[in-house]
Amino acid sequence: MSVTRRSVLRQLAAASDATRQETTTIEALAAMLDADERAVESHLYGLQACDLARARPDGTARVTITGEELLELDTDKLVIVDAATPNAES
Amino acid sequence: MTGNEPDEPTAESRAVQYDPESSRYDLYECPDCDNIVLALGRDEPPMSCHDNPMERVTDMEMSVQPPDVKQVLLQAFGLPKAGLDICLCVIGEGPLSANEVAESLGYDRSTITRYLSKLVELGLLERSELNREAGGVVNVYHSVDLERMRRETLIGFYVWAGEAAALIEDANLTKQDYLEGNPDQDLPDIFWESFPDR
C-alpha cells in the first residue's frame, strides 16, 4: 500500500514526542500505516532533510519541534521547507 | 516538402468558436451601447445596462486560437517559469525540501529560494517561520487559502484581460480616426503603432 510523506509525518508525530525526545520505530510506523517499511524509511529521510524528523541508524525515529509546528499550521497543501537558509529572509 | 506532422494539430483544428450553449462562460452585451462583459458561473445576465438586462451574445462567428494557458499565466501574473514549475512540481506532494525541488526541476538551489520569495511576493505562497531544534528558524512555504487564491487569480486575470481589451479598443478608435482623416489611403501600421510600448 502506498503511503504519503505527509501521512508518515502525522503518524510519527502521534507516536513520538519532540520535547521529551520519545522515539518510535520504523517497523512500528509501517505497521500503523499498513505500509512497506522501505517506503516509510524513504519518507523519513525526506522528512529529515526538511528538519521535520530525526531518524537514527538503529531504526528509531521521532518528530522534531519543527515537524510539530508544521502540523500545527494545519495546511494540507503545497509545502516546501527551506531548511538550509533559515535566516535568509530575516 | 512542407506540412504538418500527422498528429500535430493545425491552426484550423485548434481554433475554437464561442459556444453560447456551453456553460463554461458567457458573454453579454448591451443592446444600446458597446458594453460587453464576460461572466463565469452565472445562469442569468450578471448586470443590467441602460436599465435593461444585458443580452447573451449568440452570433459570434469569429474563431480564435485557444490560449496557451501556461503562457497566459506567465504573462498575466508576471509569473516566472521557474515559479510555475515549482508550483506544479509540489502540488499534492510534500513536505519537500528546497533541495529536492531543485534536484527534481534541474534548477540551482539558490534559484529555488529566489523564486519561492517571488511566489510569496505574488501572493501565491505564504511563508511561515518555524522554530528549529538546533536554534534559529526554518522557512516554510505553503499555499494560500484556495478560495482566496481562486478570487485573487481570477480578478488578477480579469485586470490583465481588461487592460488588453482597453488597448485593443483604443487601437480600434485610433484606426477609425485615422481612416476618417485619410479616406483615400490604405490602412497603415497606425493600428499597431497606437499600442504603447511597455
pLDDT higher than 90, residue B89: no
**Residue in chain A nearest B99 by alpha carbon:** A82
The rounded distance, in Å, linking the Cα atoms of A38 and A61 is 14
Give the pLDDT of residue A88. 40
Q: How confident is the model at residue A90 (pLDDT cuts 50, 70, 90)?
A: very low
Q: Which of residues 27-66 of A touch B (CB under 8 A)?
A: 46-47, 49-52, 64-66
Q: How confident is the model at residue B80 (pLDDT cuts 50, 70, 90)?
A: confident
User: Quick one: average pLDDT of B125-144?
Assistant: 88
Q: Which residue has the higher pLDDT, B45 or A40?
A: A40
Distance (Å) from the alpha carbon of A6 to chain B's nearest alpha carbon = 6
In this structure, are residues A46 and A5 in contact, taking their beta carbons and an 8 Å threshold?
Answer: yes
DSSP state of A21: T
The rounded distance, in Å, linking the Cα atoms of B100 and B83 is 15
Query: pLDDT by residue (tens digit) across B57-66?
Result: 887 776 677 6
**Residue in chain A nearest B131 by alpha carbon:** A66
**Residue in chain A nearest B95 by alpha carbon:** A79
| ipTM of the complex, rounded to two decimals | 0.82
Q: How confident is the model at residue A20 (pLDDT cuts 50, 70, 90)?
A: very high
User: Is A81–B98 a contact, with Cβ atoms under 8 angstroms apart?
Assistant: yes
pLDDT higher than 80, residue B99: yes
> What domains, with CATH codes, occur in chain B?
10-66 (no CATH), 69-145 (1.10.10.10)
A12 interfacial to chain B (CB closer than 8 Å): no
User: Quick one: average pLDDT of B178-195?
Assistant: 68
Nearest residue to A46 (alpha-carbon basis) of A88, A1, A4, A2? A4
3-class secondary-structure state, position B96: strand
Residue B198 cell numbers, joined: 511597455
Residue B14 cell numbers, joined: 485548434
* Pick among A8, A54, A81, A90 to test the B interface (most B CBs inside 10 A): A81
Residue A75 cell numbers, joined: 495546511
Q: Count of residues for chain A?
A: 90
Q: How confident is the model at residue A89 (pLDDT cuts 50, 70, 90)?
A: very low
DSSP state of A22: B
Give the pLDDT of residue B2. 41
Chain A neighbors of B98, CB-CB under 8 A: 80-85
Strongest mean pLDDT among A12-16, A47-51, B55-59, B132-136: A12-16
Q: How confident is the model at residue B19 (pLDDT cuts 50, 70, 90)?
A: confident
For A5-72, CATH number?
Answer: 1.10.10.10
Q: Which residue has the higher pLDDT, A40 or B196?
A: A40
The rounded distance, in Å, linking the Cα atoms of B184 and B69 is 42
How many Å from the N-terminal Cα to the C-terminal Cα in chain B? 39
Mean pLDDT of chain B: 76
Distance (Å) from the alpha carbon of A76 to chain B's nearest alpha carbon = 9
Query: pLDDT by residue (tens digit) across A21-61?
Result: 999 999 999 999 999 999 999 999 999 999 999 999 999 99
Tell if the pTM clears 0.90, that is, is over it.
no
Give the pLDDT of residue B185. 65
User: Is B138–A87 a contact, with Cβ atoms under 8 angstroms apart?
Assistant: no
Residue type, A83: A
Distance (Å) from the alpha carbon of A18 to chain B's nearest alpha carbon = 9
